[in-house]
């Protein structure tokens, strides 16, 4: 990410008052992490009432402060100034290319880039959180892949930013429908005939944000004390590009069976589209024991996919209706947090589904994070006299 763009992002987030981001931020090994967070609730005495706090000031100030307006009978804020954490981040992705002909024959090929395993320290002071992770899985592939994922959480609003690029580091994970060629015979084989690009932004509003805390499950900046759930409404935009060399794929399958052929419908050399979508989801935080939280959510989205160079007309709209598909974001988190020490596991899954006449492309992105950390130096307003 260019330094100017990164600085602009940080300044914007600092101004609008985001709370803690997901600790599962991933980046290339040469790039450090700088995350901006705020905790507007913890900066003042928490009222004993569960009613919304009446705030003074203009509309914009009141709106920003409402980002983290919580019911303290359900959610406990962060009581400390400093935070230290160690996290392991695991990244997995698959591309499934699938086609069928008029006779009903179907073929598919699933490609996967080298998985990424990172580990590194993080240190935070209130609104500023710094970290650096090292790729201990496949550091030699850093020149072929770019990976950036940032999830920012506040009580009311959330946002996911994703950037993925791969210039040829793929392996065959599965192949089906090709006569005389089994998945076992090609599993793990290198494939340099594909280049991919994904850029996506997902923003959403949490309706029951005073009682349901995403930060408690994925940012460890609050603690969920009583079980609660919430509906969510969001907007998604993403751009997907695929360059595919069917001749290299043909050579690969013929190395196993010289008579094998790919369907004509698999000879797609490029896909380039943008999507604009609306998502509706639901999340639930289950406090099944003291200091323990299990969180799960799902947010499917339906939208309009526009191919590069395609006009926005009735024909384009009909293609989206005819080839109906649903993208999805799912999250799962297990956390132990006693406000001083915490540890947990989180998993976030993104599905991007593209379908046209006799052809489909499904991009699945997974992040799994393991972390342990502590908060220290209690804030003045929470210290005992």
Cα(171)–Cα(252) distance, integer angstroms: 11
Q: Percentage of the chain with pLDDT > 90?
A: 38
Averaged pLDDT, 250-264: 89
Task: Specify which of 40-49, 122-131, 178-187 reaches the highest per-range mean pLDDT.
Answer: 178-187
Question: Does residue 60 register a pLDDT over 70?
Answer: no
Residue 363 — very low, low, confident or very high, per pLDDT cuts 50/70/90? very high
Cα(252)–Cα(260) distance, integer angstroms: 10
Cα(166)–Cα(268) distance, integer angstroms: 18
Question: Does residue 235 register a pLDDT over 80?
Answer: yes
Element (H, E) at 202: strand 194-206
| Domain total of the chain | 1
Q: What are the tens digits of pLDDT across the range 80-130?
A: 888 899 999 998 999 999 998 888 889 999 999 888 888 888 888 765 667
How do strand 170-176 and strand 106-113 relate by DSSP bridges?
antiparallel
Burial classification of residue 321, based on how many CB atoms lie within 10 Å of its CB (0-12 exposed, 13-18 middle, 19 or more buried) = exposed
Cα(208)–Cα(232) distance, integer angstroms: 9
Enclosing domain of residue 129: 3-382
Q: What does the pLDDT read at residue 304?
A: 79
Residue 138 — very low, low, confident or very high, per pLDDT cuts 50/70/90? low
Average pLDDT across the chain, whole number: 79
Averaged pLDDT, 236-257: 90
Question: Does residue 157 register a pLDDT over 80?
Answer: yes
Length of the chain: 385
Q: What does the pLDDT read at residue 134?
A: 77
Tell me if the pTM is above 0.85.
Answer: no
């Amino acid at each position: 990410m260019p330094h100017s763009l990164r600085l602009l992002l940080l300044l914007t987030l600092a101004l609008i008052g985001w709370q803690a981001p997901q600790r599962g931020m991933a980046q290339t090994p040469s790039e450090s992490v700088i995350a901006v967070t705020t905790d507007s609730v913890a900066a003042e005495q928490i009222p004993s009432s569960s009613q919304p706090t009446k705030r003074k000031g203009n509309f914009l100030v009141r709106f920003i402060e409402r980002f983290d307006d919580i019911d303290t009978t359900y959610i406990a804020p962060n009581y400390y100034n400093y935070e230290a954490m160690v996290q392991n981040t695991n990244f997995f992705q698959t591309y499934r290319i699938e086609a069928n002909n008029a006779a009903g024959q179907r073929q598919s090929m699933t490609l996967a880039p080298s998985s990424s395993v990172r580990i590194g320290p993080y240190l935070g002071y209130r609104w500023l959180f710094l970290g650096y992770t090292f790729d201990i899985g496949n550091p030699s592939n850093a020149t072929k892949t770019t990976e950036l994922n940032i999830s920012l959480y506040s009580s009311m609003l959330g946002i996911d930013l994703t950037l993925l690029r791969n210039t040829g580091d793929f392996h065959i994970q599965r192949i089906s429908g090709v006569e005389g060629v089994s998945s076992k015979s090609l599993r793990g084989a290198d494939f340099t005939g594909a280049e991919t690009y994904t850029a996506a932004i997902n923003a959403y509003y949490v309706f029951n944000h005073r009682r349901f805390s995403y930060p408690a499950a994925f940012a460890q900046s609050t603690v969920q004390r009583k079980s609660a759930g919430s509906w969510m409404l969001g907007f998604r935009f993403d751009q997907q590009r695929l360059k595919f060399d069917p001749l290299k794929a043909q050579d690969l399958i013929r190395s196993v069976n010289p008579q094998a052929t790919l369907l004509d419908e698999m000879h797609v050399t490029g896909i380039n589209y943008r999507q604009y979508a609306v998502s509706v989801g639901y999340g639930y935080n289950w406090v099944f024991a003291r200091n323990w939280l299990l969180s799960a959510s799902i947010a499917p989205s339906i939208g309009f996919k526009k191919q590069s160079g395609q006009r926005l007309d009735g024909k384009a709209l009909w293609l989206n209706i005819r080839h109906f598909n649903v993208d999805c974001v799912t999250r799962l988190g297990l956390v132990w947090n006693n406000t001083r020490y915490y540890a947990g596991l989180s998993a976030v899954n993104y599905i991007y589904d593209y379908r046209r006449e006799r052809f489909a492309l499904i991009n699945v992105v997974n992040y799994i994070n393991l972390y342990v950390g502590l908060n220290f130096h209690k804030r003045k307003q929470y210290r005992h006299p």
